[in-house]
Amino acid sequence: MTPLEERISYSFRNPRLLEEALTHPSVRHESQRDTFDNQRLEFLGDAVLQLVMTERLYRHFDEEAEGRLTKLRSRLVSRDTLRTYAVAIGLGSHLKLGRGEEASGGRDRTSTLGDGFEALIGAIYLDGGLEEARRFVLEQAKGDLEQIDEAPVDINPKGELQELLQSISPTSPIYEVIGQSGPEHDKVFVVEARWGGIVLGKGSGRNKKQAETVAAEEALRARLWEKKSA
């Protein structure tokens, strides 16, 4: 197995598919030869990714309307999200880039990493079938899916809270960890959202980001800043 295969816990029966998934179009453009790149696999992988995430959300949120499910899916398949997944498996270091793309920082570029990640999904789908592709996608998205399961919002609560409060005052809300519990591998964090000397909301989660999101959601429901200004 290659280091990347070990990282993703999948061994390709057809190594050429992995090579194709890792080959950026800049290699073909610079060589001026009729060889493969990862664009076709990216096209396929995007469809597989959409299917896997759509099915996961459909089955888990069985009472949600189409519009809300669409917004939740958009969070899970955005370019920024795919870049995060690609970085987590060290995909950038395995990509084959043309010299120009390499020199311009392509190995860390969001679009390059996102496209490469989708191409890898497409390659796994062709090599091992839908079940293997589903396993890979859901494993990489595990943390985000858990966060959505606990706080299934179709907005950015922290962003909305900040926008609302800055329409009143230039001061931004702050988030402070006020407690944590549990073993090192399964901690629960408790966070308060504060603004203007008042506690707007409190939230808990398996990481600080998740706890902050829940605190912002509580603040949006309580709207305590309105009582202060009344």
pLDDT at residue number 92: 94
Residue 32 amino acid letter: Q
| Domains, the chain, ordered by start | 3-149 (1.10.1520.10), 157-229 (3.30.160.20)
Q: Which residue, 228, 229, 81, 89, is CA-closest to 156?
A: 81
Q: How confident is the model at residue 23 (pLDDT cuts 50, 70, 90)?
A: very high
Task: Compute the distance between CA of residue 151 and CA of residue 144 in angstroms, rounded to an integer.
Answer: 10
- Of 20, 115, 118, 218, the catalytic one is 118
**Percentage of the residues of the chain whose pLDDT score is greater than 90:** 57
Residue 41 amino acid letter: L
Task: Give pLDDT tens digits for 109-135.
Answer: 989 999 999 999 999 999 999 999 999
Task: Compute the distance between CA of residue 204 and CA of residue 173 in angstroms, rounded to an integer.
Answer: 17
pLDDT at residue number 63: 81
User: Quick one: how far is CA 186 from the chain centroid?
Assistant: 21
Q: How confident is the model at residue 209 (pLDDT cuts 50, 70, 90)?
A: confident
- Of 46, 127, 212, 218, the catalytic one is 46
Q: How confident is the model at residue 155 (pLDDT cuts 50, 70, 90)?
A: low
Q: Is residue 115 flagged as an active site residue?
A: no
What is this structure's pTM? Answer: 0.68
Task: Compute the distance between CA of residue 102 and CA of residue 96 in angstroms, rounded to an integer.
Answer: 9
Q: Do residues 44 and 122 make contact, with C-beta atoms less than 8 angstroms apart?
A: yes
3-state secondary structure of 162: helix
3-state secondary structure of 42: helix
Determine phi and psi for 175, rounding to 5 degrees. Answer: -120, 125
pLDDT at residue number 15: 96
**Percentage of the residues of the chain whose pLDDT score is greater than 70:** 97
Q: Is residue 118 flagged as an active site residue?
A: yes
Q: Which tokens in the block code for residue 226?
A: 């309105």
3-state secondary structure of 192: strand
- Enumerate the β-bridge partners of residue 179: 190
Q: How confident is the model at residue 32 (pLDDT cuts 50, 70, 90)?
A: confident
